[in-house]
């Protein structure tokens, strides 16, 4: 971890209220380039509102936003969509065009690019999400998993550096949930910064190198998952469970006094370790 | 709604949409202007041929979709052919106690002419409808400089019709499993409930949809990449031959 951490997006004392109902209270978060962040917390804790603020759809009542270290003017907030892409939870609420190719072109068209560039980006997004065969299809004739892939391609074509996913695996069958997880891993490898809201603690534990926990509009915890999942009061307040692998590991390290400088994040790591050490 | 499905899966989907619209509207105009049986017949032949052969629409489907308009056309042509009178003044008369149902040769000819004209127009419109996805049709209107607001509304309405239908269907199923349609009374009440809920749900979702549009930089102008589909030389030649044939049939034969 000798790499210098480059700041991508920072919020300082960001607050937001719908009319007189406070939804976000002075949120301070700094997101660094290349991070994999899981955002957790019960529904209504303010995750989606936070995302919409980061993306420029909503303008915070108070607070400042810094992009790559530079403070943004308030009227420049709505330009944030150029750097921050947002994949909505429900693909149907995102898709508007009458065929896949036109749909993916919507974001790039709004960026004011040349036609050739829009075309290049649409093609690249189609390839990346393996959608070439479906490019002339209408959204109403796509399956749930296919719609999800289209909604991700929508955002990829905008070539934003920070990608926000709101519960990307919700309402998907295991095959498609798996596929989306693979896509997310690939995006990380390709250098994207990822911010993913999820209720799945096991996924968060294996995916994230940083965890943000929201509760009642405030940021309850911010740190590495292995630390946060140890804090009983955070878990209780945000109604979270410990990841299964962590629970099993703790039970093992208690009884068998296995070495503790290593902690498995996934079932595969756990079983590999066990088959090596436990005879 | 099924027509929409066929439009996306037709062998002619990839043809230039403007070309198809022009062909259909042109046929309609020529059939009306020339107003001759042989031209109507020729147009029916070509347009149905396009839909069935180039578009690869199953003939049974085509026949199925033609039944309803054809029934209407047949009924109205019968009304044209038939006259009611107190005296037997037609070429064929049927006595019905107090009056006669009269049919003249002239009447039959007019009826056939009208029927074929209507049928030709129908086949031209079907050729277009069964091969042109709505999105592309809207783009043609855009090229014709229809106001932007209208075009965008059409795009959005078209997209959301399907979501609305899907939601309504789900609600209906949910109501059915709770015996919401047990009796006629219950049926009415369930229907009212679904209609009301759909409205409220639409209002709620509209906000989310707007957020999703804004998240991708929507600033009041809905723009998509448009498909470039040049008209091939073969298609152009075919259209030219078709129009020439109609003109020859209309002008130089009796």
Alpha-carbon distance of B43 to B101, in angstroms, equals 33
- Look at A95 and B159 and tell me if their CB atoms are within 8 Å: yes
Alpha-carbon distance of A160 to A153, in angstroms, equals 12
Choose, out of B2, B215, B226, the residue to mutate when testing the contact with A (most A CBs < 10 Å).
B215
Give chain B's mean pLDDT. Answer: 89
Domain ranges, ordered by start, for chain B = 2-132+230-251, 139-215
What element of type H or E holds A170? none
Chain A nearest-CA residue for B134: A98
- What is the arrangement of strands in the sheet containing A21-32, beginning at the earlier edge strand? A21-32, A7-18, A62-67, A70-71
List CB contacts (< 8 A) between A82 and chain B. Answer: 217
- What is the arrangement of strands in the sheet containing A210-215, beginning at the earlier edge strand? A84-87, A162-166, A193-197, A36-40, A210-215, A218-223
Quick one: DSSP state of residue B1? Answer: -
The confidence score (pLDDT) of residue B40 equals: 92
Chain B nearest-CA residue for A122: B225
Residue B202 in tokens: 């639409």
Q: What angle do CA B116, B117, B118 make, to 5 degrees?
A: 90
φ, ψ dihedrals at A196, nearest 5°: -125, 120
The confidence score (pLDDT) of residue B50 equals: 93
Please check the confidence at residue B65 and state whether its pLDDT lies above 60.
yes
Query: Nearest CA to CA, how far is A3 from chain B (Å)?
Result: 32
- Look at B216 and A115 and tell me if their CB atoms are within 8 Å: no
- Look at A119 and B225 and tell me if their CB atoms are within 8 Å: yes
Per-residue confidence at B253, pLDDT binned at 50, 70, 90? low
Residue A3 vs residue A168, higher pLDDT: A168
Which tens digit of pLDDT belongs to each residue from B171-217? Answer: 999 998 988 888 889 899 999 999 999 999 999 889 889 999 999 98
What's the full length of chain A, in residues?
279
Q: Are strands A162-166 and A84-87 parallel, antiparallel or unpaired?
A: parallel
Residue B217 in tokens: 């930089």
Residue A164 in tokens: 């926000």
List CB contacts (< 8 A) between B156 and chain A. Answer: 96
**Nearest CA among A143, A107, A109, A104 for reference residue A124:** A104
Q: What is the C-alpha radius of gyration for chain A, rounded to an integer number of angstroms?
A: 20
B2 alpha carbon, distance to own chain's centre: 12
Alpha-carbon distance of A97 to A101, in angstroms, equals 9
Quick one: DSSP state of residue A200? Answer: -
Which tens digit of pLDDT belongs to each residue from A201-216? Answer: 999 999 999 999 999 9
The confidence score (pLDDT) of residue B251 equals: 79
Nearest to B217 among A52, A81, A90 (CB): A81
Please check the confidence at residue B90 and state whether its pLDDT lies above 80.
no
Query: Nearest CA to CA, how far is A254 from chain B (Å)?
Result: 48
Measured CA to CA in angstroms, residue A258 lies from A243, A270, A274 at distances of 19, 12, 10
Placement of tokens 């049926």 in the chain? B187
- Look at A110 and B214 and tell me if their CB atoms are within 8 Å: no
Placement of tokens 């589909």 in the chain? B229
List CB contacts (< 8 A) between A102 and chain B. Answer: 135, 224-227
- β-partners of residue A64 are A12
Q: In chain A, what percentage of residues exceed pLDDT 70? A: 95
Which tens digit of pLDDT belongs to each residue from A215-270? Answer: 999 999 999 999 999 999 999 999 999 999 999 888 887 765 666 677 888 888 88
Residue B207 contacts A, CB cutoff 8 Å: no
Choose, out of B212, B213, B221, B229, the residue to mutate when testing the contact with A (most A CBs < 10 Å).
B212
The confidence score (pLDDT) of residue A2 equals: 42
Residue A81 in tokens: 């969509």
Residue B224 contacts A, CB cutoff 8 Å: yes
Going by C-beta distance under 8 Å and a sequence separation of 6 or more, which residues neighbour residue A102?
B135, B224, B225, B226, B227
The confidence score (pLDDT) of residue A253 equals: 79
ipTM confidence: 0.83
Asked whether the beta carbons of A135 and A100 are under 8 A apart, the reply is yes
Q: Was domain A7-240 assigned CATH 3.30.1330.120?
A: no
Residue A110 contacts B, CB cutoff 8 Å: yes
Predicted TM-score (pTM) of the model is 0.85
- Look at B224 and A90 and tell me if their CB atoms are within 8 Å: no
- Look at B217 and A110 and tell me if their CB atoms are within 8 Å: yes
Q: % helix / strand / coil in chain A, to the nearest 5? A: 45, 25, 35
Please check the confidence at residue B14 and state whether its pLDDT lies above 60.
yes
Furthest-apart CA atoms within chain B: distance in Å: 76
- Look at B223 and A115 and tell me if their CB atoms are within 8 Å: no
Quick one: DSSP state of residue A130? Answer: T
- Specify burial of residue A6 (Cβ count, 10 A radius: 0-12, 13-18, 19+): exposed
DSSP per-residue string spanning B18-71: HHHHHHHHHHHHHHHHH--HHHHHHHHHHHHHIIIIIS---HHHHHHHHHHHHH
Chain B nearest-CA residue for A114: B225
Nearest to A140 among B13, B162, B226 (CB): B162
- β-partners of residue A11 are A29, A65
The confidence score (pLDDT) of residue B254 equals: 59
| pLDDT (mean) for B122-151 | 91
The confidence score (pLDDT) of residue B100 equals: 84
Please check the confidence at residue A98 and state whether its pLDDT lies above 50.
yes
Quick one: DSSP state of residue A23? Answer: E
Per-residue confidence at B222, pLDDT binned at 50, 70, 90? confident
Least confident of A110-124, A131-145, A251-265: A251-265
The confidence score (pLDDT) of residue A1 equals: 45
Q: HSE-up of B17 (CA within 13 Å, CB side)?
A: 20
| pLDDT (mean) for B14-40 | 91
Residue A102 contacts B, CB cutoff 8 Å: yes
Measured CA to CA in angstroms, residue A262 lies from A155, A248, A273, B130 at distances of 37, 14, 10, 63
Measured CA to CA in angstroms, residue A110 lies from A58, A97, A224, B219 at distances of 18, 14, 37, 8
- Look at B224 and A102 and tell me if their CB atoms are within 8 Å: yes
Alpha-carbon distance of A262 to A260, in angstroms, equals 5
Nearest to A52 among B209, B211, B227 (CB): B211
Residue B215 contacts A, CB cutoff 8 Å: yes
Q: What is the C-alpha radius of gyration for chain B, rounded to an integer number of angstroms?
A: 24
DSSP per-residue string spanning A84-105: EEEE-SSHHHH--SSSHHHHHH
Nearest to B8 among A56, A96, A137 (CB): A137
The confidence score (pLDDT) of residue B199 equals: 93
CATH 3.40.50.300 in chain A is located at 7-240
Alpha-carbon distance of B254 to B241, in angstroms, equals 20
The confidence score (pLDDT) of residue A202 equals: 94
Nearest to B217 among A103, A111, A115 (CB): A111
Asked whether the beta carbons of A238 and A213 are under 8 A apart, the reply is yes
The confidence score (pLDDT) of residue A258 equals: 60
Residue B59 in tokens: 């003939």
- Going B177 to B178 to B184 to B190, the CA torsion angle's sign is negative
């Amino acid at each position: 971890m000798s790499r210098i951490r480059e700041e991508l997006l920072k919020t300082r004392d960001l607050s937001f209220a719908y009319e007189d109902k406070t939804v976000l209270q002075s949120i301070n978060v700094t997101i660094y380039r290349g991070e994999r962040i899981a955002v957790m917390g019960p529904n209504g804790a303010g995750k989606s509102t936070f995302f919409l603020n980061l993306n420029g759809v909503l303008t915070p009542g108070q607070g400042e936003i810094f992009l790559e270290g530079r403070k943004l003017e308030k009227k420049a907030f709505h330009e944030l969509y150029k750097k921050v892409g947002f994949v909505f939870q429900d693909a149907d609420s995102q898709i508007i065009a009458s065929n896949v190719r036109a749909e993916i072109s919507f974001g790039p068209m709004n960026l004011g690019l040349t036609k050739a560039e829009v075309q290049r980006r649409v093609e690249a997004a189609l390839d990346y999400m393996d959608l070439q065969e479906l490019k002339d299809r209408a959204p109403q004739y796509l399956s749930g998993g296919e719609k999800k892939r289209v909604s991700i391609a929508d955002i990829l074509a905008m070539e934003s550096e920070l990608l926000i996913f709101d519960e990307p695996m919700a309402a998907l069958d295991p095959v498609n949930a798996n596929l989306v997880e693979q896509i997310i891993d690939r995006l990380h490898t390709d250098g994207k910064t990822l911010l993913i809201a999820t209720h799945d603690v096991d996924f968060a534990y294996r995916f994230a190198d940083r965890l943000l926990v929201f509760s009642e509009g405030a940021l309850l915890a911010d740190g590495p998952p292995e630390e946060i999942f140890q804090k009983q009061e955070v878990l209780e307040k945000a109604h979270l469970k410990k990841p299964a692998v962590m629970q099993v590991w703790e039970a093992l390290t208690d009884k068998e006094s296995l070495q503790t400088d290593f902690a498995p994040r996934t079932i595969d790591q756990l079983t590999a370790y066990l088959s090596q050490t436990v005879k | 709604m099924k027509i929409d499905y066929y439009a996306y899966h037709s062998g002619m989907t990839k043809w230039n949409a403007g070309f198809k619209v022009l062909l259909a509207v042109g046929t309609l105009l020529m059939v009306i202007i020339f107003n001759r049986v042989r031209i109507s017949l020729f147009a029916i032949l070509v347009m149905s041929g396009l839909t069935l052969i180039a578009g690869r629409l199953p003939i049974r489907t085509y026949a199925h979709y033609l039944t309803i308009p054809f029934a209407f056309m047949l009924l109205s042509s019968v009304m044209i052919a038939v006259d009611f009178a107190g005296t037997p003044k037609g070429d064929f008369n049927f006595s019905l106690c107090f009056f006669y149902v009269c049919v003249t040769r002239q009447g039959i000819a007019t009826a056939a002419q009208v029927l074929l004209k209507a049928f030709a127009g129908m086949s031209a419109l079907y050729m277009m409808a069964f091969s042109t996805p709505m999105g592309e049709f809207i783009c043609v209107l855009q090229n014709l400089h229809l106001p932007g607001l209208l075009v965008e509304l059409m795009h959005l309405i078209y997209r959301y019709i399907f979501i609305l239908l899907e939601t309504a269907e789900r609600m209906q199923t949910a109501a059915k499993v709770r015996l919401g349609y047990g009796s006629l009374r219950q049926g009415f009440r369930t229907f009212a409930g679904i209609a009301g809920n759909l409205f409220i749900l639409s209002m709620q979702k509209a906000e989310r949809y707007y957020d999703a549009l804004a998240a991708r930089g929507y600033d009041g102008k809905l723009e998509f990449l448009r498909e470039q589909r040049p008209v091939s030389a073969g298609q152009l030649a075919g259209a030219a031959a078709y129009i020439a044939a109609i003109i020859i049939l209309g002008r130089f034969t009796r």
